[in-house]
Structure 1
């Protein structure tokens, strides 16, 4: 059942990274500026991240299966709206609708793992789920590039919509779960008060501050700027850039299970590791800001792909930092911050690219320098804002 749920997450991964391959043909078809391209890619994540709290409430009340079956069809609708859009506004609406449809895709996997697997296996199983779900990244590499070259970018979205239909049918047929214990209507005010309690805890600000930028850095590379970088700076073909995207995606599949198994277990040691790996990623992006030989640039991008697997430790950090009664809410808030951060970074890097033209700075120098800065900023927030008093313990009532 977990594998079938991961199929929905894999399609979510495909949709959120399609812009990296779609960017060149969309720029030609609609004359998009870098800022518009960043907003197009970010629209998915604004919608996806903004609904995480409500998806968490839906899962608690209606269960994993009912929630994903009810919402995921909007993914198909959004993909078709994007495929047949004849204006930039239509593209944005399709992306936002797709983001709504994919909103429960990963959260249902994390909740399913938390409920069905023992706590000591959480990091490794969650890492495996992230790795398997990254198969969706492979779809938006060379295969999507082939489809676009043969039949155009609109056919690419139609193909993704067809895959989403298959994933929904698989969940319908194979996933089973017990009926929810609570059958009353959801108490929205009570749920919001519960989230308010979580936000009042001192460690929440630092965790959110880091989560805004970590996964966002990888998705901004793989899901938006990789294709334009290789085509504009190094004159790669669309299929050639797709091949690099596939290589990064394969490493993205290997990284989370690897780092899930390397998880140190000790909460404080894990926090130090997370901060150090984030700075390491920042260094890789800072190096990519320079116009290096193509082979070295690709090697750095591949390095980002494998090192980014450490982000699976952030899920274990969230689970260890909050008491058990708050785990569901904490995961929902963390996931919301993570994907709103993707939208924010893609929009801000679009602004950086537009500003670079005015300042006569090379576009990708500005983009990757900005990503490196945000990663350092997130690390500082994580390390220097108040941390948890005792990982996993109830906060003192002072």
Structure 2
């Protein structure tokens, strides 16, 4: 791990924090600035949609400008700037603007590290190293759980967000100093995003990528707090603990799934098995939405653990991408992964509001989790027709 890679991982810790912190802040934001569950669902969805849309220019920038400037400039302007706006928020609209800016800032950091891996490391260890980076970076999920709850209770949420803005700016400066661009691919070979979309094998992989991360990100980043609060009357401390448990499960899953393609000699069946179990766990929440808070937290943790096949999916897709299009290839995959989350975040707020009409909280959440489960299982059906490749 070079110093540049270490700071890219730290930047990804921030990215994971920013995509999940609204779940813990939701009670205080509702009281102080009138941001309800639907407002936060919209703001969270905007983060993911902007993040996904940025993958197209980020992919071009990685291939043509390199990861150093791409990651440092965007994180400084978008990440630190968005956190500052969040600290000054006076209403739900401020939160939406802040989350869009933060989405811009976080958009290049993971793909910058994956670009360096793809250019400078052997293809056979890509999934393993990608899983290590994702798992280590997912400590941001932990920071956005119980530690964030403690900070908010001790310092207040505005002071906490000003502190995050300062930390983000410092890490952006470190990226500018320490990240080193790898040697560029042969520039005589031309290509574009359209050339990638002409590769039939990628479409089956893009289908599973589209649904893979959405349930875990949606539950951990948005729905875990209102679900536990409405169904089990959990306060911020218990919500923080539950978020911590699910975050730890997601980290463990990234470390466990990363090397499994080399252990079993297959990427396709590792990905398929993990997503099937994650989908069935969502259906378990549909079948038993109440009755035991501990059981519900355990099942949500299972959604996070078995859904952590993201680095293996990236490795599977990358194996079909030519070297001169690596930047655009990994960001295209990420666009589908994060775009799926964004669309589900947007849809989940209005869908939940409609499900809540004439239903108890447990019944409404049950149907929402059931939709998450069906979405993953449909993605698995499409992915079943993909071509396995481990090179």
Please, what TM-score do these two structures have when normalized by structure 2? 0.90
User: For 1:209-265, what per-residue CA distance to the aligned partner results, in whole angstroms no more than 9, with x for missing partners?
Assistant: 221111121111111111222222112221221122222222222221211122247
5+ long unaligned stretches in structure 2: none
Task: Report the Cα offset of residue 266 of structure 1.
Answer: 7.4
Aligned to 2:22: 19
| Aligned with residue 7 of structure 1, among 3, 6, 10 | 10
Whether 1:279 aligns to 2:276 is yes
Aligned length: 383
Whether 1:50 aligns to 2:53 is yes
| Aligned with residue 39 of structure 1, among 25, 42, 63 | 42
**Aligned residues of 2:63 and 2:326 also touching (Cα < 8 A):** no
- Measured in 2, the distance between the counterparts of 1:276 and 1:361 equals 33
**Aligned residues of 1:320 and 1:391 also touching (Cα < 8 A):** yes
Whether 1:308 aligns to 2:307 is yes
Task: Report the Cα offset of residue 392 of structure 1.
Answer: 8.5
Decide which moves more: 84-93 or 174-183.
174-183
Please, what TM-score do these two structures have when normalized by structure 1? 0.89
**Aligned residues of 2:48 and 2:342 also touching (Cα < 8 A):** yes
| Aligned with residue 237 of structure 1, among 229, 235, 238 | 235
User: For 1:124-181, what per-residue CA distance to the aligned partner results, in whole angstroms no more than 9, with x for missing partners?
Assistant: 1111111110111111011111122233332332222122123123223332346868
- Measured in 2, the distance between the counterparts of 1:118 and 1:334 equals 20
Decide which moves more: 209-218 or 99-108.
209-218
Aligned to 1:99: 103
- Measured in 2, the distance between the counterparts of 1:357 and 1:178 equals 52
Task: Report the Cα offset of residue 391 of structure 1.
Answer: 4.4
Aligned to 2:155: 151
Aligned to 1:322: 321
Task: Report the Cα offset of residue 68 of structure 1.
Answer: 1.0
Q: Name the SS for the 1:263 alignment partner.
A: helix
Decide which moves more: 336-345 or 312-321.
312-321
Task: Report the Cα offset of residue 8 of structure 1.
Answer: 0.7
Aligned to 2:292: 293
Q: CA RMSD in A?
A: 2.5
Decide which moves more: 303-312 or 124-133.
303-312
Decide which moves more: 359-368 or 225-234.
359-368
Task: Report the Cα offset of residue 309 of structure 1.
Answer: 2.5
| Aligned with residue 166 of structure 2, among 162, 165, 168 | 162
User: For 1:91-146, what per-residue CA distance to the aligned partner results, in whole angstroms no more than 9, with x for missing partners?
Assistant: 11111011011110111010011122111211111111111101111110111111
Q: Name the SS for the 2:30 alignment partner.
A: helix
- CA shift in 2, pair 1:118/1:204, >3 Å: closer
Whether 1:209 aligns to 2:204 is no
- Measured in 2, the distance between the counterparts of 1:172 and 1:324 equals 25
Decide which moves more: 231-240 or 69-78.
231-240
**Aligned residues of 2:282 and 2:370 also touching (Cα < 8 A):** yes
- Measured in 2, the distance between the counterparts of 1:328 and 1:392 equals 19
Runs of 4+ displaced beyond 4 Å: 178-183, 264-267, 390-393
- Measured in 1, the distance between the counterparts of 2:12 and 2:113 equals 8
> Where do residues 335-354 of structure 1 align in structure 2 (5 Å cutoff)?
335-354=334-353
- CA shift in 2, pair 1:107/1:277, >3 Å: same
- CA shift in 2, pair 1:31/1:370, >3 Å: farther
Decide which moves more: 342-351 or 159-168.
159-168
Task: Report the Cα offset of residue 43 of structure 1.
Answer: 1.0
- Measured in 1, the distance between the counterparts of 2:130 and 2:169 equals 25
User: For 1:241-292, what per-residue CA distance to the aligned partner results, in whole angstroms no more than 9, with x for missing partners?
Assistant: 112222222222222121112224777x421332232121111111123213
Q: Name the SS for the 2:290 alignment partner.
A: coil
Decide which moves more: 20-29 or 150-159.
150-159
